[in-house]
Chain A
Amino acid sequence: MGTVSTPAEREAGNPQPPEPGAGPLPDPGTSTPPFRRVRSGRIVAGVAGGVSEHLGVPVLWVRVVFAMLAGLGGAGLLAYALLWAFVPAADGRAARPSTPREQQQAVGLVALGVGLALAGAALGSSWGGWLTGPLGVALIGAALVWREADAGQRTRWRSSAGAVFGGGGRMGLLRVLAGIGLVASGIAVFLFNQGGLDQLQSVLLAVVATLVGVAVLTVPWWLRLMQALSEERRARIRTDERAEIAAHLHDSVLQTLALIQQQSDSTREVRRLARGQERELRSWLYGPQGYERAGEQATGAGATTFAAALHAVAGEVEDTYAVSVQVVVVGDGGLEESLPALVQASREAMVNAAKHAGIAELSVYAEVEPGQVDVFVRDRGAGFDPALVSPDRHGLADSIRGRMQRHGGTVTLRTAPGAGTEVHLVMPRQTGGEQS
């Protein structure tokens, strides 16, 4: 929001041009904004601004009233302090800067109010004696600390930095220390005046004791602060996780979708991309117990278990031949010496099915038992007559049967023209019993 006046403000009979220091613009929908101390255009704590916004009167009048009341035995000061303590600060981020002239007016009014209060005190009201003295100093110190604490709170709202008095950096710290010093020395001098010179030591002791007492008494406040901090940390972790998911989806899914749009006229390519992306996303989502038991090690070279290796080669076949390979593995075990050969033979069987069966889907079922490992590669495709296979086709003979036999395994082939093909591979396990 800027410094533009709304119709509501003009209707309120505001005789002057809208003052920038009068707080945020009232929402046209709600006639009376809630009473909140304003954050912008404030001189001390934003109380006057809040009152003017709440009542819909110019801030200047509010300040004049406060100053006048201050003359009546300090009532204005007391009212201001109470409002400061009990009215929450607005969390609005809408800043509306005040003009230098306004600032000057306000500072003048603050000085006038304080002056009136002091004058009233000097004219012999009952409590005025100490207000003009050291306790006045202490009050000013307290005001400094309060103001800085306000700024610190605002900083925490704005960012997750979470500093207590960090609003003004080093200057803020200086102001806080100065305030504390003023409070302490004010109290000390006050007590000193009451007593004698010889009591200076005990007075200082008392001051230190009071400071310690205040520190102890504010423990709940510190704890609340810590809770707020950890809350913010949790929120940040959640944000980080969301960012990680977004990054992953961007790297994988969105890229693939873009590729699919470019290649939308090639059905085969689209299917290959979609299937590969699905596999990748599943392994990421469901991890080790899910579709890809391999989890992150789903590369043929890096796989350490039989199931992972089988899933990996099935993925390769899917990518290369644009078919969908349904892999179901029961049990699992380490890749002891003969099993890589079984995985490679299974891969050959899948490749054969993908190339020759003329189907879009084939299923692979593997069962790891203590004594042996069974793999079934099945398609519902064309099938063939084994007797009619030309001798120059080495795929089945060499890469499957030869490989299996060299490692002590067997191959059973069930096929007929039009009835699909199932290749059953059996590999005995040397170690046995290792199941997880």
Chain B
Amino acid sequence: MTIRVFLVDDHALFRSGVKAELARAGSAEPDLAPVVVVGEGGSVDEAIAGIGHLQPDVVLLDVHMPDGGGAQVLRRVRPEHPEVVFLALSVSDAAEDVIAVIRAGARGYVTKTISGRELVDAVRRVHAGDPVFSPRLAGFVLDAFAQRSGAAPVGDPELDLLTPRERDVLRLLARGYAYKEIAAELFISIKTVETHVSSVLRKTQLSNRHELSRWASDRRLV
């Protein structure tokens, strides 16, 4: 089954670049679902209209845009189309940007320097329901969940703390390991790695930990 992708970025040049990359790498592996771009939007309004009309499987979302950015698109589209999956794609490496789009509902975050093959891989992964954590996002999440002396007391241990295993998985992600390599390193199955990462994503989105709230509130998004 084809994975239909909608592209949101305010730079037309970048959109055409991603389209070309996905066209080249999207159907390079015949035994995997081909990835095709079905539409694109250059502004928040265009994106909302286009996503509502085309109902794509995956939205590649720029974080920084005029009039609200990616978080704004997420907030306005997700209530009506909860089945659409979002993957943030941005040059920004600022922690609050990354955490803001994740908390607004994006299933992953990759930087624009990613190669075409890796991007197709990430699209397939989020479409299959797994989060995509770039090393930097893993680092931010580890940082936000770090146990520090003097930090605010944990409110809900279920959401505000990472298990030791989740921490191990995140560390390996931050070291640049692929899921397969993490599974081999920790002697667990790839499926278990994915479960841990999904759990971390859920905690990142729902936790009220002070650091996460602060990053999110810096972008007026709690």
Q: Which of B95, B113, B138, B143 contacts A331 (CB 8 A)?
A: B143
Q: Is A376 within 8 A of B175, CB to CB?
A: yes
Give complex CA distance A363, B176 in Å.
Answer: 6
Given A365-B175, A378-B175: A289 and B94 interface contact (C-beta under 8 Å): yes
Across-interface contacts of B143 in A (CB, < 8 A): 330-331
Q: Is B135 touching A326 in the complex (CB atoms < 8 A)?
A: yes
A396 within 8 A of B: no
B93-A329 in contact (CB<8A) = no
Evaluate whether A367 and B142 lie within 8 angstroms (CB atoms) in the complex, with A326-B136, A330-B174, A378-B175 already known: yes
A121 vs B143: C-alpha distance when bound (angstroms):
90
> How many A-B pairs with Cβ below 8 Å?
53
- Distance in angstroms between the alpha carbons of A424 and B27 in the assembled complex: 38
Do the beta carbons of B95 and A290 come within 8 Å of each other? Answer: yes
B163 in the interface, Cβ–Cβ < 8 Å? Answer: no
Alpha-carbon distance A363/B111, docked complex (angstroms): 14
Q: Report the interface size class on chain A.
A: 20 to 34
Contact with A along B134-163 (1 / 0, CB 8 A): 011011001100101100000000000000
Q: Give the interface of A toward B (CB within 8 A).
A: 282, 285-286, 289-291, 324, 326, 328-331, 363, 365, 367, 370, 376, 378, 380, 422, 433, 435
Q: A290-B94, A365-B176, A370-B149 are in contact. List 20 more A-B contacts (CB 8 A).
A: A285-B94, A286-B93, A289-B95, A289-B96, A326-B135, A326-B176, A329-B139, A330-B139, A330-B142, A330-B146, A363-B135, A363-B175, A363-B176, A365-B139, A367-B142, A376-B175, A378-B176, A380-B176, A435-B146, A435-B148
**Shortest distance from the beta carbon of B177 to any chain A beta carbon, whole Å:** 8
The 9 closest A-B pairs by CB, nearest first: A328-B139, A363-B176, A290-B94, A291-B93, A365-B175, A286-B94, A330-B142, A376-B175, A365-B174
B87 CB, min distance to chain A CBs, angstroms = 19
Q: Indicate whether B171 reaches chain A with its CB closer than 8 angstroms.
A: yes
- Chain B contacts for A291, CB-based, 8 A: 93-94
One of A286, A328, A380 near B135 (C-beta < 8 A): A328
Partner among B92, B93, B148, B171 whose Cβ is within 8 Å of the Cβ of A365: B171
Q: Report 27 cross-chain contacts, Cβ distance below 8 Å, ordered by A residue.
A: A282-B93, A286-B92, A286-B93, A289-B94, A290-B92, A290-B94, A291-B94, A326-B135, A326-B176, A329-B139, A330-B139, A330-B146, A330-B174, A331-B143, A331-B146, A363-B135, A365-B135, A365-B139, A365-B174, A367-B171, A370-B149, A378-B175, A380-B176, A422-B175, A433-B149, A435-B146, A435-B148
